[in-house]
Structure 1
Amino acid sequence: MAADGRPYEPPMLTRVLSNATMGGVGFLCRSFLYGLNSMEVHGLDTFLDLLKEREDPRRRERGLITVSNHVSVLDDPGLWGVLPYRLHFNANNHRWSLGSHDICFKNGKSLISGFFSLGNTLPIHRIAHSSHGGLFQPTMTQVIRLLSDPHGQPSRSITGEVSSSHPSFPQDDPFTSSQLTYSTTGTDSFPAPSAYPSNRHAWIHIFPEGRIHQHPQKTIRYFKWGVARLILESEPCPDVVPMWIDGFQDVMDGRRGWPKPIPRPGKQIGVWFGERVDHEAVFGGFRKRWRLLVERTARQKTADENHEGTSTSSELGVINNDELRYSKEAEQLRIEVTAAVRNEVLKIRRRTGLPDEDPKSSLAATWREEGNNLEGEKQDGSLVQDQ
């Protein structure tokens, strides 16, 4: 039990089922990858050292984001299968990920939805499929809080004063409030993993492209802005580890015929783990600009702050203020942070021996002009798929 009376971790049955789900999927994926394919993994020892530092949740100092390209539906469970067996059943090093609500959770409280929930998958709405999608949906709040310590003390502003923008998580009685669950639509209900102190400073894996992209030259699409919110708003700045994966596009080629659900064995698969990014050198300036923007917006509050769109939220991971959501300054900041993250992934791509991409590949406008925002096979031989 946490000091404020809330449960420190999820119920034992939930933890047992989650460990079994994560362990079972990891075991099957690792058996397939190493038993039926040729695996090449780089930088794993350094990454395992980082995970070892994080084994005790009480001693974690910051969250962890791993970010990679996205080439098949097997990417997420496949990456779990790359890790050693001993980590498959270690709840303290379980990874959280995002899954499309319309695919993984469309049937409500079905066995499939329960499977993904127990597998530490959070439902994300995609704008193309749901009016509940977007950068500020409730699941983004959960991810920011998982990367932070919402049960700790308020963060401090750049002047050293306690900041009203990121205070501690609301201290209501968790058994008489909705803190142990949250809703993505206003009518559904999902477990709120950030409600438990044991999940503080968690590990999140994301695919910022937002879609599967199989390209003959192994280029990557532009990154979406969600990753920028995680880096700018989580407290403190998370560790970021870029990755590169190759070969899963052959195991689960989007053009494969019957039996389509079955992964194809006998492929050459490569996974590259990068080093931990120097968060202060790469992201420190961006976070300072964000704090300045938040503090300036807070000072500009007027007596009319209850008017819709003008109030400044004081909850970690929640932005209700239009200036912080849609101003040119806020959007430009997210563009720059996203570009910086994408550049870290490109550094790992370069290590594999691939030539540098055309710089235009990082721009959303490039993909819109070429029609690559649409799902399907393109004239350049690439394939874009929803997750």
Structure 2
Amino acid sequence: MSFYDVLARGDDALDESPRRSRTWNFFSHITCNTVVGLSKIVLNTLYNVEVKGLENLDQAMVAARKENRGILTLMNHMSTCDDPFIWACLPWRYFKDLDDIRWGMAASNVCFTSKVTSRFFSMGKILSCERFGRGPFQPALDACVRILSPDNTLDSEHIFHGLGPSTDLAASMAKNLKEERNPLSPEYKPPVLRKKTSLLHVFPEGFVCQLRPPFNNSMRFFRWGTARMILEPTVAPTIVPIFSDGFEKIKPEKVEESAFDFFTFYNRGGKVTVNIGKPLDSAIIDGFRDEWRKLCLKYTSLQDSNRMSDELKFGEEAKRLRSKVSGYLREQVSKLRLQNGFDKEDSRFSDVNWWVKYTDTKGKSDPSVKFVGLNWACRDYQSNVKIYDEKGNLLQERKDALCGPKAPRKSH
């Protein structure tokens, strides 16, 4: 079940750039292809790249478009070069049409720190996502739900998910739409100029995770915002898991960074493996969405039927469902990790509570697990950080005034 206010907020977030403009889309296409082209030069010149399962992505995209579904790809996050290098591994046919180029998210305090960088990443089809407590209920996540909702499914049949127009809740939704941004209105225009359904790529861990041996190439837990992209679009997306290794050696995390690190590529001649899995079982995804629908029926007020209630955002039942969905997604990516030749992961790494404690104590809770370079899961090491409470309310905004010591930068 979808909510009109979520879709409307997604529209608003996407409207921050003129994405209905043909001029904008022309330069957006050029930006994306330029970045992919430069990345291809680096990979093809300096590294040995193997892509397994490309036919799975081909077939998923064809089937999704035929069934009028969005496409969601999920991948582990080992390096700051994962995107765009993951796309540079694919054939050029994936970039001929702007609609086939992925949407993605990036940290606002890293990639959206000025007008220039904000414009560049926006043209690269990247959405600004805030971390450190902002949580899954923020504009970027609403935009992702909207991107995965085909434009011709913004109707009562898809949004109500079988409620039927005669039910009290459906009638209340239609009535309350008078005060909302109404996608059923003849004047409504989608925020993105597109001819077919979209591809969205996410890194569900939310942070780069580079651990030292023997835990290298392990993953963090998958964050609950990804579950929103499964449960809330008007139609279920086609979901393709991906696992990669080798990018972490191209761009290893460092304690000391310099401006030259951005242009330096390590482990030249090394192997990069991208393993693309088969689309996930639609019956399992439909089962998750049915559980979500039942929760929506249980916790949606007739007086405020177009808004997601606090119980659906922060209630224990909703949290358990999002956790179950995220755990299932992580398990599917983890299977691809085993296919890439790695040993089975330590069971602690799929546990949210273990990571929360490990992060809060800056690794002291389990000193046997160590990061390569800085722990990017820790706000202490990041500038321009906004800090939020558990419901996403802004508590603090500081520039370079961090909770702990920051690693020194080399001077050149």
**Letter in structure 2 aligned against 1:115:** F
Q: Please name the residue that 1:24 is paired with.
A: 34
Q: Please name the residue that 2:185 is paired with.
A: 171
Q: Please name the residue that 1:34 is paired with.
A: 44
> Offset of 1:350 from its aligned partner?
1.4
Tell me the distance in 2 between the aligned counterparts of 1:51 and 1:28: 25
Instruction: Please say if residues 66 and 206 of structure 1, whose CA atoms lie closer than 8 Å, have aligned partners that are also in contact.
Output: yes
Identity %: 27
> Offset of 1:200 from its aligned partner?
5.7
**Letter in structure 1 aligned against 2:44:** Y
**Letter in structure 2 aligned against 1:208:** P
> Offset of 1:12 from its aligned partner?
1.9
Structure 2: gaps spanning 5 or more residues: 1-14, 383-412
> Offset of 1:196 from its aligned partner?
3.0
TM-score scaled by structure 2?
0.75
**Which structure carries more helix by proportion?**
2
Instruction: Please say if residues 372 and 378 of structure 1, whose CA atoms lie closer than 8 Å, have aligned partners that are also in contact.
Output: no
Q: Please name the residue that 1:312 is paired with.
A: 305
Which range moves more in the overlay, 80-89 or 209-218? Answer: 80-89
> Offset of 1:51 from its aligned partner?
3.2
Instruction: Please say if residues 247 and 272 of structure 2, whose CA atoms lie closer than 8 Å, have aligned partners that are also in contact.
Output: yes
**Letter in structure 1 aligned against 2:376:** Q
**Letter in structure 2 aligned against 1:127:** F
Q: Please name the residue that 2:376 is paired with.
A: 385
1:1-387 pair list within 5 angstroms: 10-53=20-63, 61-107=68-114, 110-127=115-132, 133-152=134-153, 153-154=155-156, 155=158, 157=160, 161-162=164-165, 164=170, 169=183, 171=185, 173=187, 195-196=191-192, 198=194, 201-215=197-211, 216=213, 217=215, 218-255=217-254, 259-261=260-262, 262-264=264-266, 265-280=268-283, 282-298=284-300, 300-301=301-302, 305=303, 311-313=304-306, 319=308, 321-371=309-359, 374=362, 379-383=368-372, 384-385=375-376
Computed over aligned residues only, the root mean square deviation of the Cα atoms, in angstroms, reads 2.9
Instruction: Please say if residues 60 and 238 of structure 2, whose CA atoms lie closer than 8 Å, have aligned partners that are also in contact.
Output: no
CA-to-aligned-CA distance 1:126-182 (integer Å, 9 cap, x gap): 135xxxx221112211110110124432216565514747997353745xxxx7xxx
Instruction: Please say if residues 367 and 373 of structure 1, whose CA atoms lie closer than 8 Å, have aligned partners that are also in contact.
Output: no
TM-score scaled by structure 1?
0.79
Structure 1: gaps spanning 5 or more residues: 1-6, 180-193, 306-310
Which range moves more in the overlay, 23-32 or 375-384? Answer: 375-384
Partner SS, residue 204 of structure 1: strand
CA distance 1:69–1:29, change in 2 (3 Å): same
Tell me the distance in 1 between the aligned counterparts of 2:348 and 2:272: 28
Partner SS, residue 260 of structure 1: helix
Tell me the distance in 1 between the aligned counterparts of 2:75 and 2:241: 6
> Offset of 1:380 from its aligned partner?
2.8
| Corresponding residue pairs, total | 339
Tell me the distance in 1 between the aligned counterparts of 2:148 and 2:192: 12
Tell me the distance in 2 between the aligned counterparts of 1:373 and 1:226: 24
> Offset of 1:381 from its aligned partner?
3.5
